[in-house]
Amino acid sequence: MSQFLKRWTELSEVKEELAGRDWFYGTSGNLSIKVSQNPLQFLVSSSGKDKRKITPEDFLLVDAQGKAVENTDLRPSAETLLHLEVYRKTMAGCSLHVHTIDNNVISELYGDHGEITFKGQEIIKAFGIWEEDAEVKIPIIRNHADIPTLADEFSHHVIADAGAVLIKNHGITVWGKTAFEAKKYLEAWEFLFSYHLKLLSVKNSVQPKISI
C-alpha cells in the first residue's frame, strides 16, 4: 500500500470514530495528516462535506501553500492554513480540529483569561505527564474571521511536535506525531472540558442550607 493510501486510511478511520461521537456538527471541523515532508504534502478535509459519511471525496492532497496538488473541483477546508502552520513549524504528523459544545463553552467562560489550566486529573497522563498533581494548560485565542490573521495568531502557540489551541467560540485544534497520538490528545482535552463543566454545574446546583 502506498504512503498516500496508508495515510488516507488512517485519517478516514479517525474521522469515522470522531463522527461516531457526533463531533462534526453541521459539517464543522477538519482533519489532516502529513503524507510527505519533502516536498511538504498533506491530506486535508474537503470543505462542506458531511463527515458522518465515507466517500472518495473526503480529503484532498495539498502542498506547502495549502493548494490542491491536482486539478479538482474540491476545495480544501477553510482552516487549512492552521494545519499548514503545524506542519511548517513542527514534525507533527496529524492535526485535528473539532467544534464541540463543551470546548465552545469553555472558550466562552475563559477566553478573556487567554488560557485555562487543569490540575490533578488522571487523564493528564494521556499527554505523557506523570508527575503527581500535574497540570496542563491550553491557550485560548480570538476567533478572527480572516483566516490568515487567525493562522498568524495560532502560529504563536505552535512550538512543539504536539500541542493544542482553543479558538474562542470556534473549536479546538490538536496535533501530534501520529494520528493515534493526535486523537488521544483530543480525547483527553475533551474529557477535561466536559469534566470541568459538569463539576461547575454540580457546584452551582448545591444550595447552602439556611437555618431559620
- The answer to the question of residue 163 being in a domain is yes
Statement: residue 210 has pLDDT above 60: no
pLDDT of residue 212 exceeding 90, the answer is no
Helices (runs of H) and strands (runs of E) counted in the chain: 5, 8
Q: What CATH number corresponds to the domain at position 138?
A: 3.40.225.10
| Cell, residue 93 | 504528523
pTM summary value: 0.92
Number of domains in the chain: 1
| pLDDT, averaged across the chain | 94
Q: What does the pLDDT look like over 20-30, one tens digit per residue?
A: 999 999 989 99
Q: Rounded to the nearest 10 degrees, what angle do helices 179-205 and 3-20 cross at?
A: 10
Separation CA 211–CA 208 (nearest Å)? 10
Vertex 133, ends 130 and 136: CA angle to 5°? 75
194 belongs to a structural domain: yes
Q: Is the pLDDT of residue 116 over 80?
A: yes
pLDDT for 157: 97
Give residue 98's domain range: 3-199
Q: What confidence score (pLDDT) does residue 1 get?
A: 59
Strands (E), the chain: 30-36, 41-45, 59-62, 94-98, 115-119, 135-141, 163-167, 171-176
* Model pLDDT, residue 207: 62
